[in-house]
Amino acid sequence: MFQVIKQQGRARRGRFSCAHGGVVQTPVFMNVGTQGAIKGAVSAHDLKDLKCQIELSNTYHLHLRPGDDVVKALGGLHKMMDWDGPILTDSGGFQVFSLAGLRKIAEEGVTFASHIDGRRIFMGPEESMQIQSHLGSDIAMAFDECVENPAPYDYVKRSCERTVRWLRRCKAEHDRLNALPDCVNPGQMLFGINQGGTYDDLRIWSMQESAKVDCEGYGIGGLAVGEATEVMYHILDVTLPYAPEDKPRYLMGVGTPSNIVEAVWRGIDFFDCVMPARNARHGKLFTWSGSLNIKNEKYKLDERPIEPGCGCPVCRSFSRAYLRHLFKAEEMLAMRLAVMHNLYFYNSLARRIREALDGGQFAAFRAEYSERLAGRAE
């Protein structure tokens, strides 16, 4: 469960506990292993060294391959990955949203074509809950519709109302599944998802109605899909006052280091994003002075680590020059080392935010780092 132990303005320092992994310290950044592994050849064992607290995997992808029935037969996702910490599974709603040309939405759920082989698949609230129950994650996300931005008000309103109805169906099915004798993880929790596009009144209504369904936490979905950063912050400002104070708030799919600092300032507790791993695979690395492109010529003879003073396994052993060479030589190790550094940086960012909150210094931390982290390092 969740406990707020300290607050500075709207920023919250908390503790969260679930079936696996003991107590999670919040704010927390969740490391994204979509198909049960971090892209870039990073395993669950590596995540321990990178100070990861929660791993995130995806319902849609694991349903298609290897199949959630296979994962259940192997004892659940924790056992299959050999990861003993908490796991959150996304509902698959965002992936279905990304298949805009291949899907059809109805009250019952969504019919879409597999991106792997084109076969037709149906997923509704009950199916999403069943898949996530088979995976045995600690946190299951409710099935929702993520609308594109911009979208007409009337469509977003209808979509919002449907997402709330789907949440009620998710809750009923989730409770039923957790009570089954062969349930992989009877302690699995359910998080609802707030939607509403960029319309203030719909965001507020969605949060108010979602809060009536007794979930263990609430995600803020449908952001970072093309709207301006200032619009995203505005949506958080108008929505979070209506979120339950005693439940964690999860900003889904966000974001840059600066985004995380600003969202914590507004009251967010959980984050996830593919950005640190995706950018790393292209040579973009994060430091406390901003980001750098390790492929640049100026790092050819640079014997410094990526970030002097960084405690990650990469910076403890390897130079910028070596990492640049690996990228230029197209060695697989380049991606692995880069991803490991960026994940460690994001996990360290969350830790330093927590330390600033513990010391009552988060306003000063924000003033020093929010803009700096959005810049470029030398």
Q: How far apart are CA 271 and CA 26, in angstroms?
A: 10
Distance (Å, rounded) from C-alpha 62 to C-alpha 260? 28
Percent of the chain with pLDDT over 70: 99
- The single-letter code of the amino acid at 198 is T
pLDDT digits (tens, 9 = 90+) for 331-376: 999 999 999 999 999 999 999 999 999 999 999 999 999 999 999 9
Instruction: Report the C-alpha gap between 351 and 208 in whole angstroms.
Output: 31
Catalytic pick among 46, 90, 144, 269? 90
Residue 250 has a CB neighbour count (10 Å cut-off) of 27
One of 138, 144, 269, 272 is an active-site residue; which one? 272
Q: Answer yes or no: are the C-beta atoms of 85 and 136 closer than 8 Å.
A: no
The per-residue DSSP string of 92-143 comes to SHHHHHHTGGGEEE-SS-EEEE-TTT--EEEE-HHHHHHHHHHHT-SEEEPP
- Give yes or no: 90 in active site: yes
CB atoms within 10 A of CB 309: 8
pTM confidence score: 0.97
| pLDDT above 90: residue 189 | yes
> What are the counts of helices (DSSP H) followed by strands (DSSP E) for the chain?
14, 16
Mean pLDDT, the chain, rounded, equals 96
pLDDT over 90 (residue 99): no
CA–CA distance, 127 with 65 (Å, rounded to integer): 16
Q: What is the CA radius of gyration of the chain?
A: 20
Residue 84 appears among annotated catalytic residues: no
How many Å apart are CA 350 and CA 28, to the nearest integer?
Answer: 6
Rounded to an integer, what distance in angstroms lies between the CA atom of residue 108 and that of residue 33?
29
Q: Which CATH architecture fits 2-273?
A: Alpha-Beta Barrel (3.20)
> Which pLDDT belongs to residue 103?
81
Query: Domain extents for the chain?
Result: 2-273, 283-374
Two tokens at 84? 């003993």
Two tokens, residue 173: 């099915």
